Structure formats: structure tokens, C-alpha cells
Amino acid sequence: MIKLSKVSKSYGKKTVVNQVDLSVSAGESVAVIGHNGAGKTTLMKLILGLVRPSSGVLDIATEQGKDPHSDIGFLPETVFFQGEMTGRQVLEFYAKLKQAPRHQCTELMAWVGLNDSANARVKTYSKGMRQRLGLAQALLGKPKLLLLDEPTTGLDPFLRHHFYQILRNCQAKGTAILISSHALSEIEGKIDKVLIMKQGQVVIQGTLDQLREAAKLPTQIRVIVLPGKELIFKGFQQQSPHAINGEDHFGTFSFQCQQHQTVELMNVIMAQQANIKDVQIIPPRLDDLYAHFVGKESHP
């Protein structure tokens, strides 16, 4: 759907996006993460056509003779709409700009859960309601590419779940999604690939499994033993080179190993199955991977 090859953007002597390679296929979701000033917003502006690359090639797949940017839906981090207009009027205004059929407005208001507030003025909307109206605006015209900048700001946990449900439905219909977010634990498991940026450059990109393999951070295995079996299991744990001591509550024991050693260690642990109540395998989280590749002094 979109491909960037060695794309850079400079303002005077300052390079804010430097030699970025990125591709997003139809039906694929990619998260762009990085500290403030890493180049994420400029990257989106480049794709939107708001600024032009200083060098490199940026291609957006589209039908011949059609403006490629007409197939892009965009939800900015800060949503602003005219407060005196109703939600329905706002959508109908954007539908005219996008040459989208008017019936989509009604469908999208229902889809984002604003049907009951469609005729209320936007100035009466909560921040979460305005964010959902912004998503409805981005979905007008059934875009082939969605650009989302901190899209769940102001949404409660239930609405965040509903938001990602909507995105999954869009992906199933072939929409490509590029999402910039600071909520790393939230997007983990909801995207196909991750691109980590630092000071305008791509540090690494790939699936979570690919990032974990590259980072070689340990996988943690947490074992909860049956009541009364704590001392027995403590003796077993002390013999293991993978044991983590002094970090867990009585009755819970932790081990860590490299990813390729997980099955082997699990087999050893499950030999104590008679003493075990539960086992949890905890691979490195996206937060851990970010800190590893960018440094703990940088915050996304």
C-alpha cells in the first residue's frame, strides 16, 4: 500500500527524518514508536503530503490518474471540530470534502457509538466522544490507508477495546494502518509490525518475535506452587541455574532463560508438576524492547 525508500526530511541543517525505509501492505498494521522529537509526526506529514521529502522515494499505491492522498484517512493526536456544529453536521461536511456518500455518515456514527449524540453540538461532547468523531471522519470514503496519531487519547478501557475492534474490521477489509502511540502495553498484540525511531532514524523494525530475537532479552517463567509445597519447590529452584532469587512472594518462584531455551526449561519445571498450581511464560514486553533498543533515558 505504501513504501518509503531512504526517505529524509531536513529543515535547513537539521535532519528530522533520516534515510527511513518502511513498507505497509494492504491489511497490515504497523506501529511507529519513539521519544518526542524522534520524527514520528514528520513521517506522517510526509505520507499525508503536507511536506515533501528532501530525498528518497515515497510511493502510495492507488488507481491510475487518482490522487494517492485521497485514499488516506487521518486521525491527528489533537482533534478539533467546530463546537457549534452537531456531530452529524461535522461528518457531512467532511463527507462533501472527501466526496464520500452521505449514508456513510449515519453508518459511521453508529459504528463509533455516537448514534444517540449525532444531533448534539460538538461543544457538548466529552474528549472521548470527540476522539470517536475524529475516527469516524478518518473512516469516511473507506480509505485504503489509515494514519492514526495517538488515537486512543481520552478513551476509557471499554472504548479502547471497541476502537481496536473497529481497526481489526478495517484490516480484514484490506485497510493498511500506520499508528503512532506512546501506549506501548496497549498496542502490543494489536499490531503486526513495530518500527522504533530515535533522532529521526529507524533503530529497528519487524514483528515482535523478530525484535525479541534481535534483543536476546530473557523470557521469564513464573511458577505458582500448591499450598504446603513451597519448601519442596524451593529446594528444586536452588539447583536451577535459571532461577531468580529474592524477587517473588512465598509460593511464587521465577526463572529466566533465552527464548530458544524455553521449551527445555519448561520440561525441567514440569517434572515437578505434582507440586505446581500454575505456570506463566512471560516473554519480553514491548516496553522492555523499546528500552533495550533506544535506551532507558528515552521515553516514547
16-37 pLDDT tens trace: 999 999 999 999 999 999 998 8
Q: Taking 80 as the threshold, does the pLDDT of residue 67 lie above it?
A: no
Q: What is residue 248's predicted lDDT score, i.e. its pLDDT? A: 63
List beta partners, residue 194: 31, 206
Q: How far apart are CA 6 and CA 76, in angstroms?
A: 25
Write out the E strands in 120-210. 145-149, 176-180, 193-198, 201-206
Q: Residue ranges per domain, the chain?
A: 2-212, 218-283
Q: What is residue 189's predicted lDDT score, i.e. its pLDDT? A: 87
SS3 61: coil
Rounded to 10°, the helix 127-139/103-111 angle is 140
Q: How far apart are CA 297 and CA 15, in angstroms?
A: 22
Please tell me the CATH superfamily of domain 2-212, with its number. P-loop containing nucleotide triphosphate hydrolases (3.40.50.300)
Q: Return the CATH architecture of domain 218-283.
A: 2-Layer Sandwich (3.30)
User: How confident is the model over 96-101, as a mean pLDDT?
Assistant: 91
pLDDT (tens digit per residue) in 133-191: 999 999 999 899 999 998 887 788 888 888 899 899 999 999 999 999 888 988 998 99
pTM of the model: 0.85
CB-based contact 6:18 (threshold 8 Å): no
